[in-house]
Every structure is written in structure tokens, then in C-alpha cells.
Amino acid sequence: HNVLTLAAVPGILAKGGAHWAELGDGASRGTQAYQLSGALRRPGLVETPFGITLGELLNGFGGGPREGRRLRAAQVGGPLGAWTPASLFGTRATWEGMAEAGGMLGHGGVVAVDDRTRIGDMARFAMRFCAAESCGKCAPCRIGSVRAVELIDGLLAGDATCRAPLDALCETMREASACGLGALAPLPVQSALRHFPEDFPPCAP
């Protein structure tokens, strides 16, 4: 159990499981607390029934981008969540909705970035975070995350030969890491490469 589970208990006890099950969308039932942060006019915490879109969260509750800026992307699910481009802000912030978009809902954290942010730098930050937080138990995470940062640095510097080994390393980390830290660390990197190739000079179309 976590704090979100415990927070749902009073409402279920007061109104019953049937009422709780009426809320939500698809297989995602009940409500979810979303933590909105980043380049928004009104960052904060909001709880809504599952089914709201990322755009409704960011532009409605979050107030949209600051004056003169435009939202470029949002990282959903925590520091190792996927980067979702503005073109996919119609995605429903549900477990299955985010999975279909190639990401995850995680704990409901949503970090918005505007047009001043290079997503390639954010991808590097996520992998560096993994390298710093690794417990060192398994080689894919302990060694792989450090090597991945080096390869990302190469890509950002324009070295196209770093792409193939980075792709292979990300898959190895996903499949062979002992826990979720190493397995999820490639997600922000792979989503950044997929949706924002222009941020990695040799990958730009």
C-alpha cells in the first residue's frame, strides 16, 4: 500500500465500492492525484477521476504555459517517465492511456517543459539520475547507466556512431536490470529520441 491507496480508503468506506467503480475510464477506476509542476502558470496538486487528458490537466488545471511561451512536452510518471510531446496531449492520463502512448502513469507526476527546453538534456539528466541512485547490485544498471550517459553525451555532441550502442544498451537495461530503476531509466531516453530527434544532432530527420 502507498499513500494514494490509503487516501482512497475513506471515500470507499463512506460511499461504497460501487460508487468508486463508477468513477474513472476503462480499466482505470476511481480517482488519481496528479502533481503538476514545471513551466506552468499554476503548478500544484489536483485530484480528478481517471479519464482526463494531459492537455486538460496542463492547460486547464495547470493554467497552460507562461506568457510568451508554448508547452513542448511533459514527462509523466516521475523522473524516469517517458517524454510525451505536445502533439499527444490528447492522451488520457490513465494506466492504459499512457501505456498506449509508450509511457506510464507512475505516481501521477507531470512535469511540463516549454519551448526553451532541450529534451535531449532532460534525457541525459534522467540517465545520470539512475547512475547516481543505482544500488550497484546488477551490472546493467550499475555499469550500463554510466556508459549510457557517455553515449548520450556523444550524441548531443554530434557523434552518430553513439546511436546504435545506446539503443542496444537501453534494451539490455530494460530486459536485464534487477529492479525498476535500471529497467525504467531507458524510457525517458528512448522517448526523447523517438519524439524529439532534432534535439540529438545526428538523429535529426
**What pLDDT does 3 receive?**
84
pLDDT given for residue 205 in this prediction? 63
- Separation of alpha carbons 89 and 134, rounded Å: 32
Q: Is the separation of the CB atoms in 63 and 40 below 8 Å?
A: yes
Predicted pLDDT at 111: 97
| Number of neighbouring beta carbons within 10 Å of residue 79 | 17
CA Rg, the chain, in Å? 18
Contact 73, 103 (CB under 8 A): no
> Would you state the pLDDT for residue 40?
97
> What's the pLDDT at 1?
64
Identify residue 18 by its one-letter amino acid code. A
- In a structure prediction context, what are the per-residue pLDDT tens digits for the chain, which is 205 residues long? 678 888 889 989 999 999 999 999 999 999 999 999 999 999 999 999 999 999 999 999 999 999 999 999 999 998 999 999 999 999 999 999 999 999 999 989 999 999 999 999 999 999 999 999 999 999 999 999 999 999 999 999 999 999 999 999 999 999 999 999 999 999 999 999 999 999 998 876 6
- Residues 28 and 95: their CA atoms lie apart, in Å, by 6
